[in-house]
Amino acid sequence: MKLIHLSDLHLGKRVNEYSMLEDQRHILAAIVGIIKDEGPDGVILAGDIYDKAVPPAEAVGLFDDFLVTVSALAPVFVISGNHDSPERIAFASRIMEHGGIYLSPVYDGEAKRVTLRDGYGEADIWLLPFIKPAHVRRAFPGEEINSYTDAVRAAVGHMDIDPSRRNVLVTHQFVTGASRSDSEEISVGGADNVDAAVFEAFDYVALGHIHSPQNCGARIRYCGTPLKYSFSEAKDVKSVTVAELGEKGSLTLRTVPLSPLRDMVELRGSYAELTSRAFYAGTSWQEDYTHITLTDEDDVPEALGKLRAVYHNLMKLDYDNSRTRTNSEIKADAGAERKSPAELFSDFYTLQNNGGMSAEQEEYMLRLIEKTWEAEA
């Protein structure tokens, strides 16, 4: 059984105020081509279909076109991610099933199961949308659910899984140990971590949420985003994951690379070097999304406008010289916006007390943060 695994389309996303819709339209067309070539038994979309819970009309239209095209080629399995509105993703799900499009419902204690068949028998595809502990506690008020691991374990425990059959889980969570990128939401103190052990019952776990493609064990995989959405992903090779299940226990994973309309690249050098035709000749950098770091000791007047005359999609401009390196020592907290609340509090505690927190203090702090976050959910 061959499955195409996709996730985190983030349709309608803007990166540094640049709309990515044209790039997304291009990459979805490329994905359709791959699906036609591969001839899969199913196509998985593991959450974060849209970048916002209320997406722009253009993004909805783009996804509608994609679904119509892909569902004519293979069954499509869609779940909501943390960026999506579960209610909007689930809308008209019963009607959509007649067209081979299976949408995860709003979680109420039951995960949707769809059964596929091939030469090796039946395989169950389980659709579990992004869930928080509060969602699962509402469904199972008698159970002790304090963490994301508890929540996912409880959700899986209430699935009627037949271990003699092949079981595939489609879900959208952060598995402990996965590597994040800058384009993802940072949770409070890693409170959203899910232990990979809760997925032992499944032959393949098709994950969404993390933007860099990676495996979390032999049977658990993040396919990553089809496009780069931050410069921390500049060196990533974006791709489509193809999962092939043979008989029970047999799994083969491979990837098909994707070529974007515009790449995301980081360039570094003096203004004179970067504006020399010899530097960028024969590259696509003039049309790519660029982050430029100038090494000139003196600021270049109107550098942004001048550089955009060469690099038309310059998103970000920095300087790296003796002056900025001195300033970075003074502004040691410049990276604070990327830290979680727990990390920020830990740094503050250390500064105030000339020492770190004890294990008991850290546990108490995480409980307080989790309680606050749940109250805002």
Phi-psi category of 224—alpha, beta or left, where left has phi over 0 and alpha has psi -120 to 50?
left
171 lies in the same domain as 283: no
pLDDT of residue 161: 97
User: Which of 366, 328, 319, 323 lies closest to 346 in space, CA to CA?
Assistant: 366
Name the DSSP class of 11.
Answer: B
**CA atoms of 274 and 238, how far apart (whole Å):** 27
35 lies in the same domain as 103: yes
Output the DSSP codes for 57-124. HHHHHHHHHHHHHHHTTS-EEEE--TTS-HHHHHTTHHHHHTTTEEEPPPPSS--EEEEEEETTEEEE
81 lies in the same domain as 23: yes
Which of 291, 309, 327 delimits the end of a domain?
Answer: 327
For residues 234 and 259, is the Cβ–Cβ distance under 8 A? Answer: no
pLDDT tier at 372, thresholds 50, 70, 90: confident
- The residue-averaged pLDDT of 241-253 equals 97
pLDDT digits (tens, 9 = 90+) for 169-183: 999 999 987 776 666
- The residue-averaged pLDDT of 54-62 equals 97
154 lies in the same domain as 81: yes
With H, G, I as helix, E, B as strand and everything else as coil, classify residue 162. Answer: coil
Which of 195, 225, 257 delimits the end of a domain?
Answer: 257
With H, G, I as helix, E, B as strand and everything else as coil, classify residue 171. Answer: strand
pLDDT at 352 > cutoff 70: no
37 lies in the same domain as 100: yes
157 lies in the same domain as 237: yes
38 lies in the same domain as 125: yes
Q: Is 97 exposed, middle or buried (0-12, 13-18, 19+ CB in 10 A)?
A: middle
Which amino acid, residue 308?
R
Is the pTM here over 0.85, yes or no?
no
Question: In this predicted model, which residue has the larger pLDDT, 256 or 374?
Answer: 256
pLDDT at 220 > cutoff 50: yes
pLDDT tier at 188, thresholds 50, 70, 90: very low
179 lies in the same domain as 285: no
State the total domains in the chain.
3
Q: What's the whole-number average pLDDT of the chain?
A: 91
Which of 257, 287, 318 delimits the end of a domain?
Answer: 257
- The domain in which residue 342 lies consists of 331-376
- The residue-averaged pLDDT of 354-369 equals 80
195 lies in the same domain as 309: no
**CA atoms of 330 and 319, how far apart (whole Å):** 16
Which of 1-10, 53-62, 328-337 shows the lowest per-residue confidence on average (mean pLDDT)?
328-337
pLDDT digits (tens, 9 = 90+) for 253-307: 999 999 999 999 999 999 999 999 999 999 999 999 999 999 999 999 999 999 9
pLDDT at 189 > cutoff 50: no
Question: In this predicted model, which residue has the larger pLDDT, 353 or 2?
Answer: 2
pLDDT of residue 33: 98
Which amino acid, residue 374?
E
- The residue-averaged pLDDT of 179-196 equals 68
29 lies in the same domain as 76: yes
12 lies in the same domain as 131: yes
234 lies in the same domain as 288: no
User: Which of 314, 118, 109 lies closest to 231 in space, CA to CA?
Assistant: 314
b/e per residue 317-354 (b: at least 16 CB within 10 A): bebebeeeeeeeeeeeeeeeeeeebbeebbeeeeeeee
- Per cent of the chain over pLDDT 90 is 80
Which of 30-44, 181-195, 336-350 shows the lowest per-residue confidence on average (mean pLDDT)?
181-195
The CATH number that applies at residue 98 is 3.60.21.10
